[in-house]
Structure 1
Amino acid sequence: MNEPIQDRLVTLRRSLHRHPEPAWREFATTARLVEEIRAIGVDELAVGPDAYDPADRMAVPDADLEPWLERARERGADEALLERMTGGNTGAVAVLDRGEGPAIGLRVDIDGLFIEESDDDDHDPAAEGFRSEIDGTMHACGHDAHMTWGLAVLEAIKASDFSGRLVVFFQPAEETSGGGCPMAKSEFAEGLDYLLAIHVGLDHPTGEVVAGIEKPLAMCHVDATIEGTSAHAGKAPNEGDNAMHAMGTAIENAYGIPRHADGMTRVNIGYAEAGSASNVIAERAHMEAEARGETTELMEYMKDRLERTVRSAARMHGCRADVEVVSESPRADSDPELQSLVSEVATGVDGIDRVLPAADFGASEDATFLMERVQRDGGLATYLIVGTDHPTSHHTPTFDVDEDSLAHGVDVLVETIRTLEHQHPVARNESER
C-alpha cells in the first residue's frame, strides 16, 4: 500500500467494487477505508459512533447485521474497528488541519445495493475479473468510484502545501437516505465554509462536468404494517378483518392523493406483501412506500397525506395501521457562486471538454442534509457531477463506469479545493460561526 493512490486509481476502485456492502453493513468497506486513510496520515480520524451520534441514524435494519460483520472479520478487518462498528455504526470522517484558511468539506458515499451483478461476457467487471464477490449485492451506482475520489483527494491535499481545514465524509447508507442526517448533525460539519458533494455519471458522458445540481427532490421512505383479524375465507369470512383488502385500498387511494399547485409531487408504493393461504383472511399486510416533492414543504404535504391515507384505509376495514417514516431528506440547491467557481476550474482540467454550470437533478440525495447545514451556517455548497460513459443506467446489473473518469474527478476536486483556498469567496461574520 506504499504506492500512491493516484497511481492506482483503477486498482483501488476495482478492489472496492468486488466487495460491496449495503447500508449500515459497510463493515469491511469502512475497515478498508480506514486502512487507506491511516496510510495517508491525517490529523483526525473518526469511525462510526465517533463520527456521528448513532441516535441520529435513519433506516437502520433491525436484523441482518451479524452476517456482514462476520464476513468482514473473515476478510481480516481490524477487530478493534469491528468492535467500534457494532450495531451497524459504519462510515468514517477524515480531517486534515493545515492552519489558517477555509474549512472545506467533501462528502462521498460508500454503500452498495441489493442487486445481483451481471456475469455476461460483455460486462467489463465480469470479463476482467472484478465482478462483485457477494451474491445479490453490487456497486451499481458508482460509490466505488466516489470512495476512490475521496481517498485520492485526501492524499493529494496531504501532499500539497494546502492551508486550511479539509474534512472528508465517507458517508454510509446513502441509498436508504439514512447516513446524511447524522453526519450533518455531527461536530465535523460545524463551521464549514464550503461543502462539495459529488456523483459519477448520471447520464453525463466522460469528459463532461456539471458544476452543481438544481431541484433535487425532497423525499421520505415510509413503511406501513396493517394488522387485521384472520378467519376462514369460506366458512366465516365475515369474522375477519382483511388486512390485505385494507392494504389494497390504501395503495389505490395513495395514487389518488391530489397533486399540489405549488410544484411537482410524487408517491410510489414499491413493495407489498400480505396473506398466508388462499383460504385464510389475511391478518397482516406490509407495504413500503415513498413520497417526494419539489420542495421540502411539498414532500411534507405528500408524506402527511400518505400516512393519513393508510390509516384511513385500515380503519375502513376494521384494521389497525402502524406507519413509520424510516428516513427522509430535504431539498437543497447548489449555490451559484460555488457553481461558477467549479465551472471555471473544470474548464481547465485535462480531459474535460464540456462544462455545464447547472442541471436539474430530478431524483433525491441525502447529501442535502450536509448542504443544508453548511448553507444555514452561512457557507456555500454544491453537488457536482463528473460524467462517465456507463453502458446501462444506474441501479442495473450491468452498470459500470469509464475508468478514465476517475482521474477527472480527482483533478476537478483537488483544483477546486486549492482554488477555494486562494480565493475564499465566502465572507462571514464571526457571529455567524
Structure 2
Amino acid sequence: MPLTQTLLARVIELRRTIHRFPELSYKEESTSALIRRELETLNIPYRKLATTGIRAEIKGQQEGSSKKNATIALRADMDALPIEEKTGLLFASENPGVMHACGHDGHVAMLLGAAHLLHRGDFSGRVILLFQPAEEAGNGAAQVVTEGGLDQVDMIFGGHIDTHFAPGHFTVDAGLICSYADPFIIRIHGRGGHAARPHEAIDSVVLAANLVMNMQTLVSRQINPSHAAVVTVGKLRAGTVLNAIAEEAVLEGTIRSAHPETRNCLIAALQRLIQGVQDMSNAEIELEFLDGMPAVINDTQAAGLARKAAVELVGREQVGNQEAPSLGGEDFAFYQQQVPGCLVRFGAQVAGDTRGPAHSGRYDFDEKVLTYGTQWLALVARRALDHLSGNCL
C-alpha cells in the first residue's frame, strides 16, 4: 500500500491531535486511547502493557522460503515533557505546563501511518508495533521488556526526529550513537542560622555553589578530551528567606558520557568531590544515583538493513552519518540489551527557522518528516523480514 495523500493527511492529523493533548510519562491515557482506536479501524490486534503502552501485532500472510517465522518490532515513544508551550501553533498544547517538545507526537503518528501501510500483511513473518510510554522519565522501555514486549522478537527498529537535518535526510550509524545517562541527586545537610552570624552555621547554599562550580572541572581536568562527556546540574533548591542561612540544599543533575571508562571515571570523581567538601565543611552530604540508561549501541547488521531501507527510500546522497555520539540519553538502549536493534534519525529542520531546540517551549519540526518516517518504518520492517526469512534476492 503506498503512502497516499489521504493517508499522509491522516498522519498529519494524528500528529496534531496528539500535540494538542500532550501527556507526561505513564499518564498517556488519551494518547493510548487514540492509538487503540486507530488500530481497531485496521483490525490490528493489540494488548496494553507498561501502564499506558500498547503492543500490536500484524501477521504476515506470505510464507518465507526458509519457513522461519521472523519477527520485527517497530517502536514509537508517546510521552511529552513538563514544559509550557510557546510556539503559537494553531494546534498548540491545551494542557497547561505540558508540551510535546521532543517530537514524540510525530513518532506515534508515523508508526500509526506505518500500521496502515503494513496492516494487510503482504509479507512473511510478523511485525510488532510498540507504542511505548515514559521515554522522557521512567525508563518505559525497560518496563515494556519486563512485560514481554519483545517476546519472540528477532530485531527492533526505531527513529527519532532531529531538527539538525533537513527533511528527507537520514543518519544511520552502527555502534554507539547515544550516551550513558546517569541522573543524580545531592542532598546537603548543613546547620541553619542567622544571616549575620555565619560562624554559627554550616551554609548549605555556599556548599552547593562550591559543588556546582567544581563539578565543571570534572570533565575539563579529569577526562580524556577526545571522549565526549558532560556534567550538568539542572535543579537547585535551598533556603526559605533572605536573612537566614539555609540548613539544607538539594541539587539534581545528570552525567552524560559516551564511553564506559569515562562513565566510571566521572562517577568516581563526583564521589571524591562530595567526600572532600563534606570533610572540609562538617556538613553531611548524600549522593544518590537514580535509574540511569545504558548507551544506545546500534547492531551492525540491523544498521545495515536500516541504511539499505533509507537509501531505497531517498537515495544514497540523502543518507549520512551522525559522526560523533550524541550525549542525549535514549531508553531504546534497553531493547538493544535484549535483541539486535537500530535507532536512526529523521531530518526535520524547518528551513530558515529560528525556533527553539528540543526540550524548549518553542520547539517544532517540519511535518514533511512524517512522509519519510512513515514510509521508512514500513520499508525497514519488510526488508528486515525478507532478510531474516530468507526471501532476499
Q: Which fold has the larger relative contact order, with Cα–Cα distance below 8 Å and residues 6 or more apart in sequence?
A: 2
| Alignment partner of 1:34 is 2:44 | no
Looking at structure 2, the residues matched to 149 and 314 of structure 1 have their Cα atoms a distance apart, in angstroms, of 51
Q: 8 Å contact 1:207–1:353 — kept in the other structure? A: no
Flag the 1:228–1:19 CA change in 2: closer, same or farther, 3 A. same
Cα deviation digits, residues 308-363 of structure 1 (max 9, x gap): 43354244322222322223111232223322322222223269961125543423
Instruction: Write the letter of the residue equivalent to 2:139.
Output: G
Looking at structure 2, the residues matched to 108 and 249 of structure 1 have their Cα atoms a distance apart, in angstroms, of 41
Question: In the alignment, what sits opposite 2:16?
Answer: 14
Q: 8 Å contact 1:250–1:314 — kept in the other structure? A: no
User: TM-score under structure 1 normalisation?
Assistant: 0.78
Q: Out of 54, 66, 75, which is 1:92 matched to? A: 54
Question: In the alignment, what sits opposite 1:222?
Answer: 184
Question: In the alignment, what sits opposite 2:170?
Answer: 209
| Alignment partner of 1:263 is 2:227 | yes
Looking at structure 1, the residues matched to 278 and 109 of structure 2 have their Cα atoms a distance apart, in angstroms, of 47
Flag the 1:353–1:369 CA change in 2: closer, same or farther, 3 A. same
Q: 8 Å contact 1:207–1:351 — kept in the other structure? A: no
Looking at structure 1, the residues matched to 7 and 21 of structure 2 have their Cα atoms a distance apart, in angstroms, of 18
Looking at structure 2, the residues matched to 366 and 212 of structure 1 have their Cα atoms a distance apart, in angstroms, of 17
Instruction: Write the letter of the residue equivalent to 1:181.
Output: A
Output aligned runs, 1:65-104, within 5 Å. Answer: 89-98=51-60, 100-104=68-72
Provide structure 1 residue ranges, at least 5 long, that are not aligned to the other structure: 49-88, 121-125, 375-379, 427-433
Q: 8 Å contact 2:296–2:333 — kept in the other structure? A: yes
RMSD value over aligned CA atoms? 2.7
Flag the 1:321–1:170 CA change in 2: closer, same or farther, 3 A. farther
Output aligned runs, 1:116-265, within 5 Å. Answer: 116-120=84-88, 126=89, 129-176=90-137, 178-212=139-173, 214-234=176-196, 236-257=197-218, 258-261=221-224, 263-265=227-229
Flag the 1:169–1:297 CA change in 2: closer, same or farther, 3 A. farther
Flag the 1:169–1:359 CA change in 2: closer, same or farther, 3 A. farther
Cα deviation digits, residues 399-433 of structure 1 (max 9, x gap): 2222222121111111111111112289xxxxxxx
Query: How far 1:268 moved relative to its partner?
Result: 1.3
Structure 1 window deviating more from structure 2 (8-17 vs 290-299): it is 290-299
Flag the 1:281–1:350 CA change in 2: closer, same or farther, 3 A. closer
Question: In the alignment, what sits opposite 1:387?
Answer: 347
User: TM-score under structure 2 normalisation?
Assistant: 0.85
**How many residues matched?**
371
Query: How far 1:276 moved relative to its partner?
Result: 1.6
Q: 8 Å contact 1:243–1:314 — kept in the other structure? A: no
| Alignment partner of 1:339 is 2:303 | yes
Structure 1 window deviating more from structure 2 (39-48 vs 216-225): it is 39-48
Structure 1 window deviating more from structure 2 (321-330 vs 258-267): it is 258-267
What percentage of residue pairs aligned between the two structures are identical? Answer: 25
Looking at structure 1, the residues matched to 240 and 280 of structure 2 have their Cα atoms a distance apart, in angstroms, of 22
Instruction: Write the letter of the residue equivalent to 1:423.
Output: H
Q: Out of 362, 367, 370, which is 2:335 matched to? A: 370
Flag the 1:280–1:33 CA change in 2: closer, same or farther, 3 A. same
Structure 1 window deviating more from structure 2 (290-299 vs 91-100): it is 91-100
Flag the 1:248–1:209 CA change in 2: closer, same or farther, 3 A. same
Secondary structure, counterpart of 1:333 in structure 2: strand
